């Protein structure tokens, strides 16, 4: 095709035929979050680049090579958000929301941007549903957040998701662990794959996540973070596990869950599906106790998660999860002739004011074509409006599913005096007919 207008690499359209699926997922997530006491927050798509460098961490891959960064006309360095937490935290700090009752509980549905090579479950523009619970140091908050993530996935009908949790400790105990890990791997450096040799310098914890069998063998006897947690972090993690046990939510402790964003501390977790390819993490999150302070705010231990909406949708389609049917139009009016067409438009408008989805011909098509159209778009009922109907004030309402037809009598003057208050009777008439016909 010779179209100039093609979507940018790594972006995707949501077409009308699929929009209801997105609406369903977004609403299910928002409703669940609301039941946990979260309210929506909306922040800008772009922020100062510095915000992400500070929060996500300037040594991370996200910041180093994946951000959409540009200078605006005023010379400011601007970045399209690569994730949702930084903006939400910035907003809470900027507006002093932490002066209200803590914790601040907010959720968001947003688009995010990362310059990566697209593949299954990974786009350059993607969408996240996320929650942030700001100012909540207790492990109860960790458990609740995980429970919320689970509730959303469950309500969407998603099955076979594994919950993996870990604790990466506070900066103090993590530093000790990193040293131990580094010296362990340094002794076995020759056995590691090439990428892991790099990781040894940049982020030794990532080696634990390597898929190469060689590295996995080396990792087998590597020191485990959980053995290096300080008393507080250890107790915190134990309580989180106990709370999950009590709630009956099963999980596996996986020391390999190491998040790639610098702000994470203590509890980290992922909900993982094995059914949508290599990018199986459908929801990921954890605690970020140091973030508020890092951004110049007060000490506000916080946590949250983000769900990848495209991935959620993929899993759901893969598992044939039920989506509610999109609402079809109630009535298609097929006018024949100019007079009827004018009346059809008026009838439609009044029906719309009554809350019906009513449409009519816009293309001057013949009756047959109109009926075909009505059938194709899934209209529940159709109504032919021609000279006979206009004269006799009687039309036949047709149930498109059963083919059954029933007469609808228009009270005097309705067709010609559409603004007359008698019109109400017409709609009562139509309304009743629609109700009787339904089912």
* 277-316 positions binding RNA, by CB under 7 A: 277-279, 281-285, 305-308, 310-311
For RNA, what does the binding mask look like between residues 160 and 199, x meaning CB under 7 A?
-----------------------------------x---x
Closest listed residue to residue 54, CA positions, set 46, 63, 45 = 63
Burial 280-301 (b: 16+ CB within 10 A, else e): bbbbbbbbbbbbbeebebeebb
Does residue 368 bind RNA (CB under 7 A)?
yes
Nearest distance in Å: CB 150, RNA: 13
Q: Give the pair of three-digit tokens for residue 76.
A: 């400011």
Nearest distance in Å: CB 10, RNA: 5
Nearest distance in Å: CB 235, RNA: 25
Question: In the window 98-127, what residues touch RNA (CB under 7 A)?
Answer: 114, 116-123, 126
Nearest distance in Å: CB 401, RNA: 6
One residue of 184, 401, 422, 429 binding RNA per CB under 7 A: 401
Nearest distance in Å: CB 423, RNA: 20
Q: Which stretch binds RNA (CB under 7 A): 68-76, 175-183, 369-377, 414-422?
A: 369-377
Q: Within 10 Å of residue 413's Cβ, how many Cβ atoms?
A: 12
Distance CA 149, CA 161 (A): 11
Closest listed residue to residue 311, CA positions, set 264, 272, 285, 257 = 272
Distance CA 294, CA 291 (A): 5
Does residue 372 bind RNA (CB under 7 A)?
yes
Of the two residues 162 and 234, which places its CB atom closer to RNA in the complex? Answer: 162
One residue of 26, 66, 294, 420 binding RNA per CB under 7 A: 66
Of the two residues 229 and 395, which places its CB atom closer to RNA in the complex? Answer: 395
One residue of 352, 366, 409, 416 binding RNA per CB under 7 A: 366
Question: In the window 201-220, what residues touch RNA (CB under 7 A)?
Answer: 206, 209-212
DSSP strand pairing (394-399 vs 405-409) = antiparallel
Calculate the CA dihedral of residues 97, 99, 101, 106 and round it to 10 degrees: 20
Does residue 61 bind RNA (CB under 7 A)?
yes
Q: Which stretch binds RNA (CB under 7 A): 19-27, 33-41, 372-380, 414-422?
A: 372-380
Does residue 423 bind RNA (CB under 7 A)?
no
For RNA, what does the binding mask look like between residues 222 and 261, x meaning CB under 7 A?
------------------------------------xxxx
Residue 351's alpha-carbon distances to 380, 390, 424, 438, in angstroms, are 14, 17, 10, 17
Of the two residues 235 and 253, which places its CB atom closer to RNA in the complex? Answer: 253
Q: Within 10 Å of residue 378's Cβ, how many Cβ atoms?
A: 14
Distance CA 126, CA 65 (A): 17
Does residue 396 bind RNA (CB under 7 A)?
yes
Does residue 274 bind RNA (CB under 7 A)?
no
Question: In the window 19-58, what residues touch RNA (CB under 7 A)?
Answer: none
Q: What are phi and psi of 344, to 5 degrees?
A: -65, -40
One residue of 106, 170, 374, 423 binding RNA per CB under 7 A: 374
Of the two residues 152 and 374, which places its CB atom closer to RNA in the complex? Answer: 374
Tell me the three state secondary structure of residue 391. helix
Distance CA 229, CA 63 (A): 28
Tell me the three state secondary structure of residue 9. coil
Q: Residues in contact with RNA, total (CB under 7 A)?
A: 75
Q: Is 346 exposed, middle or buried (0-12, 13-18, 19+ CB in 10 A)?
A: middle
Question: In the window 376-395, what residues touch RNA (CB under 7 A)?
Answer: 376, 382, 384-389, 395
Distance CA 59, CA 82 (A): 15
Of the two residues 76 and 396, which places its CB atom closer to RNA in the complex? Answer: 396
Closest listed residue to residue 395, CA positions, set 411, 419, 371, 379 = 411
**420, 350 contact by CB (below 8 A):** no
Does residue 72 bind RNA (CB under 7 A)?
no
Of the two residues 73 and 115, which places its CB atom closer to RNA in the complex? Answer: 115
Q: Is 320 exposed, middle or buried (0-12, 13-18, 19+ CB in 10 A)?
A: exposed
**383, 331 contact by CB (below 8 A):** yes
Nearest distance in Å: CB 354, RNA: 22
Does residue 335 bind RNA (CB under 7 A)?
no
Does residue 18 bind RNA (CB under 7 A)?
no
């Amino acid at each position: 095709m010779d179209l100039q207008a093609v979507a940018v690499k790594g972006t995707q359209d949501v077409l009308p035929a699929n929009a209801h699926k997105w609406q369903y997922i977004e609403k299910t997530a928002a409703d669940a979050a609301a039941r946990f006491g979260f309210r929506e927050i909306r922040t800008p798509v772009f922020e100062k680049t510095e915000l992400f460098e500070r929060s996500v961490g300037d040594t991370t891959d996200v910041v180093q090579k994946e951000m959409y960064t540009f200078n605006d006309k005023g010379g400011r360095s601007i970045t399209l958000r690569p994730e949702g937490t930084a903006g939400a935290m910035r907003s809470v700090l900027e507006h002093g929301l932490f002066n209200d009752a803590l914790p601040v509980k907010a959720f968001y549905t947003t688009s995010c941007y990362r310059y990566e090579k697209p593949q299954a479950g990974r786009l350059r523009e993607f969408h996240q549903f996320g929650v942030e619970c700001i100012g909540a140091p207790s492990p109860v908050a960790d458990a609740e957040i995980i429970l919320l993530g689970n509730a959303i996935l469950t309500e969407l009908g998603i099955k076979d998701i594994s919950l993996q949790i870990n604790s990466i400790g506070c900066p103090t105990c993590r530093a000790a662990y990193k040293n131990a890990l580094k010296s362990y791997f340094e002794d076995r450096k020759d056995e590691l794959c090439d990428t892991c040799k790099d990781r040894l310098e940049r982020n030794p914890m990532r080696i634990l996540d390597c898929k190469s069998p060689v590295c996995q063998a080396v990792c087998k006897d590597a020191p485990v973070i959980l053995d290096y947690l300080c008393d507080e972090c250890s107790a915190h993690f134990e309580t989180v596990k106990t709370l999950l046990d009590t709630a009956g939510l099963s999980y596996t402790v996986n020391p390999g869950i190491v998040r790639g964003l610098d702000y994470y501390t203590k509890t980290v977790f992922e909900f993982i599906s094995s059914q949508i390819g290599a990018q199986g993490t459908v929801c990921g999150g954890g605690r970020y106790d140091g973030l508020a302070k890092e951004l110049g705010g007060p000490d506000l231990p916080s946590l949250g998660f983000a769900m990848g909406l495209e991935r959620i949708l993929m899993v759901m389609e893969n598992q044939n999860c039920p989506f509610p049917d999109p609402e079809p139009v109630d009535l298609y009016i097929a006018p024949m002739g100019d007079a009827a067409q004018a009346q059809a438009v008026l009838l439609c408008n009044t029906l719309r004011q009554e809350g019906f989805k009513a449409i009519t011909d816009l293309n001057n098509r013949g009756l047959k074509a109109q009926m075909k159209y009505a059938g194709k778009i899934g209209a529940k009922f159709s109504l032919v409006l021609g000279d006979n109907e206009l004269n006799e004030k009687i039309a036949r309402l047709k149930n498109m599913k059963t083919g059954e037809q029933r007469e609808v009598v228009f009270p005097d003057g309705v067709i010609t005096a559409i603004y007359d208050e008698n019109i109400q009777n017409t709609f009562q008439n139509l309304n009743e007919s629609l109700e009787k016909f339904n089912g």
